[in-house]
A and B are shown apart, each in its own frame.
Chain A
Amino acid sequence: MKHTDPVDCILCRCHGEIDGVVDFGQLQKQLEDDSRLRSVSVGNALCLDGELESLAECAGGRRPGKVLIGACSFLARGDALIAGLENCGISRDRVFVADIREGCAWLHADRPGKATRKATDIVRMGMTALRHREVSADVNITVQPRVLVIGGGPAGMAAAVAAGRAGVAVDLVETSGQLGGMLNRLSRVAPGDRSAEAILTPLLEAIQAIPMIRVHTGTRVSEIRGSAGDFDVSLASKTGSARLSAGAVIVATGAKPVLPNGQYRYGQLSGVISGMELEKILKVDRSVGGNTVFIQCADVRNSKRPYCSAICCPAALKNAIRLKEIDPGAEVTIVHRDIMTPGHRLEADYRRATAAGGCFIRFAPENPPRIEGDNRVTGIRVTDILAGRERHLKADRVVLGTAVEPRIKTDRDDPVMTAIGLAADTHGFYRVQPFLHTVETDAAGVFVCGTARWPVMVDGAMAQGKAAAAKAMDLVAHPVRKASRLIGFQAVRFACARVSPTTCSGCGNCAAVCPYNACGLEKTEHGLRAAVNPVRCMGCGSCTAACPNGSISLPELGATAMVRMIENAFTAGNLTVSNALNGVADRSAPGCRDRRNGGVVNQ
């Protein structure tokens, strides 16, 4: 496509919605005077009744050109217009919809004169954007039909089993010596009263029974290179290293429990234990007696960790019920800020704990409970904010609810994950795309499930693992994929950055600013030059803004298109300017960085 390709303009009246405000006679006259447009025609309700098709035939019948539509916004019916023209054989790269309804007529119904001028400008800006729009290169990816699952906890195992059952080859990598993750350390599993083995055994049996699943225990992922469809993975273990390829990566690395050091005299006074230690005791010793106090929200929901860990309240309820069952005479008290039990199954646990005789006391975060005891804990003092008085509780054991925290603090802490474009949120949990994408991350081909994403209970982790497996299978099911179609939140990628190797100075600004690590420096015979990974690039344009000499650009919205749009933004009723733009002189105004094109005539 060249910028000199003829442009045909079609304006939509939209049953008076647009031409009731905008003076179409004047608009049409101004546009017909513009030598950059080959024809200007007016239709009514282009989105209905095959009107568009007849106009498209008029436009496409002659020398193939580009089509500029002045109608409603892309979000209203603009996308339907583009799809309609695509059906008539006009590629969507050659179509631009300028929004003169939502963006003009509906906003300025009280000022018809100004609205007409604005509509002219909007159509002209659309025209310049269309004239200077180029098409990004697209590459085909040969997809490796394997899935790498990092982390052998419930989420990772569920993902591996789901993908393996569907016949996809899976590599399940676990750093510790055995699969199971947190399930290995729990006595019973909430909600309900299930043993960890009841959940773990079917998963382990399935993994053993499916030959498509290769398990690598005692192994860590030392490096991942490449991008969606073709990741090159290096594994390291005590016995040696290995390499494998994978089409998709499922990250199920989980989180780590918070040890509440320094809080509530933990680590200093015997008898103050963490929730995980109680799990360990309950796993081996089935006759634990004595009074127990649970203190919730230990070192979480504060300024350091401003989130709820979601798993500590269910864990405390489950253990309270268990302690009451073992020793009905013992006093079990849960001292909490709020009890978080969403859903009917956790609510049932709460009711069971209450019915079993568990006592609940609420404290204020600014006035936390005080631990008493000299050599060993004897009790706690707490201000009950509901009763409004101080309580003294005797306790043989104080259990601090164990929150979880992410394995990393920022993106930079984890070079392996950063290299594949995985980003962390403000807390350090891996970020997924907003809204309806539960397991898809910003990096194509990388999925996150389980507690690595956000604190979640075992059932939720397994459900997320299956979801991640489904998304990964969707990716690896096709032997060849187009890079531009790999992005979750866009049906089609907007653009892919393009480097001009002759002008690139290799400064590395683009590599520093790229939010997806798509830009990098490569050694060439002339020295370092920027190179764009066409799979990772999502087309945001950060690199074009950081490039000091305009060597990297988005073909869909290049520097020339941007400058011409700015120049045409306020030209209606100012004929000298628009004529100047039609003229032959290349106005290399300050700010126009596209000088590498040389003397571009006829903008």
Chain B
Amino acid sequence: MTVHSDPGIVQNRRDSEHGPKILVFACRWCAGIGADGAGRQRLPLPADFRVIAVECASRIDPDTVLKSFSEGVDGVAILGCHLDGCRYNRANHATAKRMALLSTLLESVGIGADRLLTSFGTAHEGHQFADLMRRFYERLQGMPQQCRFETDPQAVSGGGVDHA
């Protein structure tokens, strides 16, 4: 799927003060240490990202990613250890498969797979984390802003099961 973006919107986006919002789910062992290293080296980075440190990238389920998008986040990054270098045996292999599947789902619902960044092995050093963030930020700058999805309290929750 191609992202249909109005050049005007993108230009607006570049000029406005609010850049794309990025939510980073970082494994505590690799990417979390990389994010910390970026801070220690005081690498200049776009400020609109937030890091949620998790014990292992395998903790991240598709629901968490979709919830982030529904909150109006422009991009979600899942950062884990090297495949084969996971502290939890082979747990991040499951994440790799899960996120590959999720990205096809994101394409089909119109959010776009480009908004999900899955990276294993990189970002365990400060400059790698910073580089990854900058490139992801640039990629998202070329895309229209995500809107926040409001939930309708009257709507049937739980996968649209009709109790009528």
Where the two chains meet, the residues of A that have a C-beta atom closer than 8 Å to any C-beta of B are 73, 75-76, 99, 101-104, 106-111, 114-115, 117-118, 121-122, 125, 421, 423, 425-426, 431, 434, 442, 489, 494-495, 513, 515-516, 538-542, 544-546, 554, 557, 559, 562-563, 565-567, 569-570, 585, 587-593, 595
Contact = CB atoms under 8 A, between A and B. Distances in A.
Given A107-B42, A569-B23, A99 B36 contact: yes
Contacts, number: 157
A196 B43 CA distance: 58
Contact of A570 (B67, B71, B95, B98): B71
Contact of A566 (B38, B67, B94): B67
Contacts of B44: 107-108, 110
Contacts of B45: 107-108
B158 interface: yes
Nearest to B84: A426
Contact of B55 (A111, A515, A541): A541
Interface in B5-34: 21, 23, 33
A435 B157 CA distance: 47
A114 B94 CA distance: 36
A318 to B, nearest CB: 34
Given A539-B55, A541-B56, A542-B56, A591 B94 contact: no
B27 to A, nearest CB: 9
Contacts of A101: 39
A541 B28 CA distance: 13
A545 B60 CA distance: 6
Contacts of B84: 425-426
A89 B21 CA distance: 39
B110 interface: no
B48 interface: yes
Nearest to B63: A591
A545 B39 contact: no
Given A540-B56, A541-B54, A569 B61 contact: no
A134 to B, nearest CB: 15
Contact of B89 (A109, A494, A516, A587): A516
Given A106-B39, A495-B55, A545-B59, A538 B67 contact: no
Interface of B: 21, 23, 33, 35-36, 38-40, 42-45, 47-48, 50-52, 54-56, 58-61, 63-64, 66-68, 70-73, 84-91, 94-95, 98, 149, 151, 153, 157-158
Which 3 A-B pairs rank lowest in CB-CB distance, beginning with the nearest?
Answer: A591-B67, A102-B39, A541-B59
Contact of B151 (A115, A426, A587): A587
Nearest to B82: A434
B91 A540 contact: yes
A186 to B, nearest CB: 33
17 contacts: A102-B36, A103-B51, A106-B42, A107-B47, A109-B42, A423-B90, A434-B85, A513-B94, A515-B86, A541-B59, A545-B59, A563-B67, A566-B23, A569-B21, A570-B72, A590-B151, A595-B157
Given A566-B71, A570-B21, 14 more contacts: A101-B39, A102-B39, A103-B39, A107-B42, A425-B84, A426-B84, A538-B88, A540-B58, A542-B58, A542-B94, A569-B50, A569-B52, A589-B71, A591-B67
B1 to A, nearest CB: 21
Nearest to B64: A562
A442 B66 CA distance: 32
B59 A442 contact: no
Contact of A591 (B36, B66, B158): B66
Nearest to A565: B52
Contacts of A115: 47
Given A107-B43, A540-B91, A588 B61 contact: no
A103 B35 contact: yes
B14 to A, nearest CB: 16
Contacts of B63: 559, 590-591, 593
